[in-house]
Structure 1
Amino acid sequence: MNGVINILKPPGMTSFDVVAYLRKKLNVKKIGHTGTLDPGAAGVLPICIGKATKIVDYLTAQDKKYICEICFGETTDTYDKYGNVVRRYEKDFTLDYQKLNQIIKSKFIGEIEQVPPAYSAIKINGMRAYDLARKGHEFEIPKRKVIIYNIDIIDVYSKRALLEVHCSKGTYIRSLCYDLGECLGYGAYMGFLLRTQTGKFKLDDSYVLEEINKENINNIMLTVDKLLDYDSLKLDIDESKKFCNGVILSKRHKDGMYKIYNYKSEFLGIGNINNNKLKPEKIFV
């Protein structure tokens, strides 16, 4: 059993809970997810099974799309609705679409710096930040650079806004909501989060956990090579054997990553060509 399942994670489960559920239901040992979703969030969560776990890092690195609700007028210690209110904007205000849009376009598109929430899975000296925060420890999380490709305002209602965000890996939408609130001067926290896409995996093509079973899993799983956006390269019999044994081969092709197939068009793995030398990166046979 080797492949990737596009799971619709429900709110209330951690990403690890989803992995544990499928491990037991499908009776598989090698299984992992490709990017943590907050327990309260829902949406696309690709799950790698068997040899497909070798591409977890490749899939995690792909762009993400989200729909989120941002609630203005209060801030919380977790930057979402599940935390304790730490500050409240006392004056009455009206959320203005034009002002919000102007702030987004001028300060939150392109490469930006953000600080992940204290209640996050970031590691601080080997410990998860959320564990330190729950124990009341004081600590600093360094800023990180992320890329926001686009933010569309879907709707503005009362003191809330619905946003669609296209961003790079590592982006914390909770931090984005908090920072937007600070820029507008009202404070803000994230009301809900739905991940609609990660790489090629889209919400419309996802499966709820109850749909997955041993009988249909092979029809639902996507094969590794179909998910990689690399050029293909076919090897002859001798080259195929050497590649699978980790031997560096001479190949006159442009530099870059390739999907490697044998003479029977069977997928062997991922290779990297540099200066006409093909180096095996990941082998799947």
Structure 2
Amino acid sequence: MYHGIINVYKEPGYTSHDVVARLRGILKQKKIGHTGTLDPAAEGVLPVCLGMGTRLCDMLADRTKTYEAVLLLGCSTDTQDTTGTILTENREKALALDPETAEKVILGFKGDYDQIPPMYSALKVDGKKLCDLARAGKEVERKARRVQILEISILNMELPRVSIRVTCSKGTYIRTLCDDIGRELGTGGCMEHLLRTRVDRFLVEDSLKLDEIEQLRDMDGLEEKIYTVEEALETYPAVYTLPEGDKNLKNGNPCFRQQLDLLRDGAPEVWEDGDRFRFYNSEGRFKGVYQYQEEKHWWKPWKMFDLDPDTFKGAARP
């Protein structure tokens, strides 16, 4: 069984669930999960977690993402992209836009803003998916959610189309951003194309199509393409226990300051409540992620990954 994360290039026409289903067949294992849905028409980076790596699905879903999208002005649809039913058309007004005005409005979306999730989404209201309600012809009230546009830039502008690059927080809908930009400009707008180029450390240039993954499996070259759990967590500082703290770490119990090797190279000097760290035993074996709790002056387990590198393919290595 494989354990870790594989950077999949999701091709247009596949749902995220389709990717998982096919990977289960390619890798001959059931324990596989994706890290956040990507619309069927969209393409790009979709990190997929394998085996023990599935414990990271929620964490990776929360990380920032970067997209390149084509915004089509002068047209709005019920799905907020060009796959939907056209609600309004105003191509002439879009063509007549002052490019400087359009640029100012688009770049003005940088920062925090309240975004209303689209009806055609997988979010649930009273246990029902919004997209299922939308397909049944129903529309329900949705509460606006605060999202963050960390970076937004214009790659190309040939009205009525504008190519943009967006780095954003979790829960941001790029097609809703396109719709909101169109509303602000008074022309209407929708998303014509979407490419996800980055999820946390996973980049589009390193991603693999499903056919490529299958070929690598047949050539016994797949293992080197699987990121270990440890690699996915490398943004967390490393902490090592002393021999007397190994038992607590092995059993997933809280660890105390006197059980940590704080003189080891790279040991953090500053600890803040809620901070997370990669914990290793005194022999250098990665065991899991611990979270500092200032009130109790201890480190409490957050996620444990006791992987034996001699047993598991794609496992973390000390």
Equivalent residue number for residue 45 of structure 1: 46
Per the alignment, residue 282 of structure 1 pairs with 303
| C-alpha contact 2:238 2:279 (8 A) present in aligned 1 | yes
Deviation at 1:90, TM superposition (A): 6.5
Q: Provide the rounded CA distance (Å) in 1 between the counterparts of 2:111 and 2:80.
A: 22
* Number of aligned positions between the proteins: 284
Q: What's the RMSD between the two structures over aligned residues?
A: 1.4
Task: Measure how far apart 1:135 and its partner are.
Answer: 0.7
Judged with a 3 Å threshold, the aligned counterparts in structure 2 of structure 1 residues 187 and 244 are, in CA distance, closer, same or farther, namely: same
Amino acid at match of 1:221: I
Contact 1:72 1:188 in 2 (8 A): yes
> Distance between the aligned counterparts of 2:246 and 2:227, measured in 1?
23
- Give the letter for the 1:246 counterpart: G
Compare 193-202 and 28-37 and name the one that shifted more.
28-37
- Secondary structure at the aligned position of 1:212 is classed as helix
> What CA distance in whole angstroms lies between the structure 1 residues aligned with 2:23 and 2:279?
30
Provide the residue aligned with 2:25 in structure 1.
24
One of 95, 98, 114 as aligned partner of 1:96: 98
What are the superposed Cα offsets for residues 60-115 of structure 1, whole Å, 9 maximum, x if unpaired?
11111000001011111000010010112264432432111111233x11111111
1:139 alignment counterpart: 140
Equivalences for residues 232-271 of structure 1 within 5 A = 232-251=238-257, 254-255=271-272, 256-271=275-290
Describe the shift of the 1:90–1:6 C-alpha distance in structure 2 as closer, same or farther (beyond 3 A). closer
| Residues in 1 aligned to 2:169 and 2:209: alpha-carbon distance in whole angstroms | 25
Q: Which residue of structure 2 lines up, in the alignment, with residue 222 of structure 1?
A: 227
Cα distance in structure 2, aligned partners of 1:60 and 1:224: 15
Q: Residue 98 of structure 2 aligns to which amino acid in structure 1?
A: D
Confirm or deny: 8 A CA contact 1:233 1:259 kept in the other structure: yes
Unaligned runs of 5+ in 2: 259-269, 307-318
- Distance (whole Å) between structure 1 residues aligned to residue 128 and residue 112 of structure 2: 28
Paired with 2:57 and 2:9, the residues of 1 have a C-alpha distance of 17
* 2:62 alignment partner in structure 1: 61
State the distance in 1 between where 2:41 and 2:172 align. 17
| 1:65 and 1:164 in contact (8 A); partners too | yes
Alpha-carbon distance in 2 for matches of 1:201, 1:17: 20
Q: 1:244–1:283: 8 Å Cα contact kept in structure 2?
A: no
Question: How far apart are residue 140 of structure 1 and its match?
Answer: 1.3
Paired with 1:193 and 1:251, the residues of 2 have a C-alpha distance of: 48
Deviations 1:37-71 (A, max 9, x none): 11100000000000011111111111110000010
Aligned counterparts of 1:30 and 1:279: Cα–Cα separation in 2: 26
- Structure 2 contact 10–19 (Cα < 8 Å) conserved: yes
Note the C-alpha offset of 1:244. Answer: 2.8
Question: Is residue 290–residue 300 contact of structure 2 (8 Å, CA) maintained in 1?
Answer: yes
SS in 1 for 2:284: coil
Q: Compute the TM-score of the two structures, normalised by the length of structure 2.
A: 0.86
Normalised by the size of structure 1, how large is the TM-score? 0.96
Once residues 157 and 106 of structure 2 are traced to their aligned partners in structure 1, the CA distance between those partners, rounded to angstroms, is: 14
- SS of 1:117's equivalent? coil
Shift of the alpha carbon at 1:238? 4.1
User: Does structure 2 conserve the Cα–Cα contact (< 8 Å) formed by 1:116 and 1:175?
Assistant: yes
Where does residue 201 of structure 1 map in the other structure? Answer: 202
Deviation sequence 1:206-236 (CA, Å, 0-9, x none)? 1111111432221110011112211101123
Alpha carbons 1:65, 1:198 under 8 Å: kept? yes
2: CA distance, partners of 1:116 / 1:127: 14
Q: Which residue of 1 aligns with 2:213?
A: 212
Report the counterpart of residue 314 of structure 2 in structure 1.
Answer: none
Q: Is the 8 A contact 2:64 2:170 kept in 1?
A: yes
Residue of structure 2 in register with 1:164 after alignment: 165
8 Å Cα contact 1:8-1:43 kept in structure 2? yes
Which secondary structure does the structure 1 equivalent of 2:101 belong to? Answer: helix
